[in-house]
């Protein structure tokens, strides 16, 4: 979702990450408690308890608010509000809206972003600064908007939990699947880093950082965490920008508070209890889909300090069981877009395992939105997932239908 920053992340490939706990992970403390309970689920515009209902509505209103030029919109941008891209079936959800990223490879084969950053904005407040992909930038991709519902629980997952998931994946015993855990800057606690989990490249670890980044890069509005205006393909847009920087001082905190207070996407309970869906869930696990699409994760204990000391996991988010169906790690499944953000060159062709919760709420799949059916999405998996995909191919037509029925229930 973001243009890369100049900040350099502390990054580890899990196969060699035996000492991760000595860094920022160590302060995240206890990961689970015996009395964990299910995270609240629902498409109902009700708070999960992080905020009061009145506070939730106020934060949601800011998330939905359309900004204009007088408020700092642009000069180059993609949308006028957060809800413009996160709005199905309700505010905070996924959508069909995509963005464009581009760059090229140098003589060493390393990715180099387009002038001004890999994000090519689709809109501008003046036609003379409209961004277009330069012909020389031949590494190109679309990025579909992501779901933000339930993200407060994802933020509250202990980084050590993600490390443990990666260490237990088959590559540790000679298999192909090897999730990469990276640590990325926490903008509100500079120079702190934390395990990335947000965005297609895991480029953010905190929702406040995620919100601040998106406010600049998607709406062109500078803020206290990201105070410098973007360019138009590397060229200054200062003569079109009449609002002093930073253009926002508190909206990003409201964006983060809204996301932290949303419930997780619910299952279709009727379909989930159907015999085919239950059988499909079992087959999903048996053929190995659950290695990356992890069915259940428990968040950190309440009181755990995260985000470099900037956030303490509250009771509403702590010690909750979520069913995101993701390991929140980076993998090469043969669909990589070649783009590098906060993770370094080794992540160019890797993407975060897409969380499958809420899958039934959108019809365009994979990172680029170019795949339109669940079956095609599965068959598109290669690379690390080749063996699992072959397992799926080997199933009978009836068994494949059962897995697809399960996916339709999510």
Q: pLDDT tens for residues 54-105?
A: 999 999 999 999 999 999 999 999 999 999 999 999 999 999 999 999 999 9
For residue 235, count other CB atoms closer than 10 A to its CB: 11
* Burial class of residue 193 in the structure, from the number of CB atoms within 10 Å of its CB (0-12 exposed, 13-18 middle, 19+ buried): buried
Record the tokens describing residue 342, joined without a space: 């906060």
Question: Is the Cβ–Cβ distance between 202 and 29 less than 8 Å?
Answer: no
What residue has token string 């990172």? 367
pLDDT of residue 173: 72
pLDDT of residue 27: 55
In tens digits, what is the pLDDT along the chain, a chain of 410 residues?
A: 344 433 333 333 443 333 333 344 545 876 555 699 999 999 999 999 999 999 999 999 999 999 999 999 999 999 999 999 999 999 999 999 999 999 999 999 999 999 999 999 999 999 999 999 999 999 999 999 999 999 999 999 999 999 999 999 998 777 899 999 999 999 999 999 999 999 999 999 999 999 999 999 999 999 999 999 999 999 999 999 999 999 998 999 999 999 999 999 999 999 999 999 999 999 999 999 999 999 999 999 999 999 999 999 999 999 999 999 999 999 999 999 999 999 999 999 999 999 999 999 999 999 999 999 999 999 999 999 999 999 999 999 999 999 999 999 99
Strands 37-38 and 320-322, by their bridges, are parallel
Distance from C-alpha of 300 to C-alpha of 22, rounded to nearest angstrom: 18
Coil, strand, or helix at residue 76? strand
pLDDT of residue 9: 34
For residue 376, count other CB atoms closer than 10 A to its CB: 12
Record the tokens describing residue 235, joined without a space: 């060229």
Single out the residue of 158, 206, 159 nearest to residue 182, CA to CA.
159
Angle at 236 between CA 234 and CA 241, to 5 degrees: 135
Question: Is the Cβ–Cβ distance between 30 and 24 less than 8 Å?
Answer: no
């Amino acid at each position: 979702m973001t243009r890369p920053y100049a900040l350099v992340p502390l990054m580890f490939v899990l196969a060699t990450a035996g000492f991760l706990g000595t860094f920022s992970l160590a302060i995240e403390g206890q990961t689970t408690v015996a009395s964990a309970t299910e995270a609240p689920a629902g498409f109902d515009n009700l708070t999960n308890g992080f905020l009061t209902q009145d506070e939730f509505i106020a934060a949601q209103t800011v998330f939905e608010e359309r900004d204009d030029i007088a408020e700092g919109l642009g000069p180059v941008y993609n949308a006028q509000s957060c809800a413009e891209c996160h709005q199905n079936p309700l505010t905070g959800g996924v959508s069909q809206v995509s963005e464009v990223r581009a760059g090229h490879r140098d003589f060493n084969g390393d990715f180099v972003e387009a002038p001004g950053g890999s994000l090519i904005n689709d809109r501008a407040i003046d036609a003379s600064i409209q961004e277009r992909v330069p012909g020389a930038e031949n590494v190109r991709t679309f990025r579909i908007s992501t779901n933000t519902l339930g993200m407060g629980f994802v933020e509250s997952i202990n980084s050590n939990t993600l490390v443990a998931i990666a260490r237990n994946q088959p590559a540790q015993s000679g298999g192909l699947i090897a999730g990469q855990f990276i640590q990325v800057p926490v903008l509100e606690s500079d120079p702190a880093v934390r395990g990335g989990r947000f965005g297609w490249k895991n480029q953010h670890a905190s929702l406040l950082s995620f919100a601040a980044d998106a406010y600049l890069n998607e709406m062109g509005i500078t803020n206290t965490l990201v105070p410098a205006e973007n360019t138009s393909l590397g060229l200054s847009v200062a003569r079109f920008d009449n609002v002093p920087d930073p253009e926002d001082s508190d909206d990003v905190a409201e964006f983060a508070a809204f996301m932290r207070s949303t419930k997780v996407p619910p299952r279709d309970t009727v379909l989930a209890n159907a015999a085919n869906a239950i059988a499909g869930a079992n087959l999903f696990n048996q053929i190995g889909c659950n290695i990356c699409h992890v069915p259940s994760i428990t968040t950190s204990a309440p009181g755990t300090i995260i985000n470099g000391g900037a956030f303490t996991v509250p009771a509403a988010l702590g010690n909750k069981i979520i069913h995101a169906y993701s390991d929140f790690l980076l993998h090469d499944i043969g669909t990589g877009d070649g783009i590098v953000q906060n993770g370094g060159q080794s992540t160019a062709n890797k993407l975060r395992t897409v969380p499958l919760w809420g899958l039934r709420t959108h019809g365009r799949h994979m990172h680029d939105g170019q795949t339109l059916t669940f079956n095609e999405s599965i068959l598109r998996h290669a690379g690390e997932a080749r063996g699992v995909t072959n397992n799926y191919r080997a199933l009978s037509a009836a068994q494949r239908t059962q897995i697809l029925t399960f996916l339709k229930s999510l």
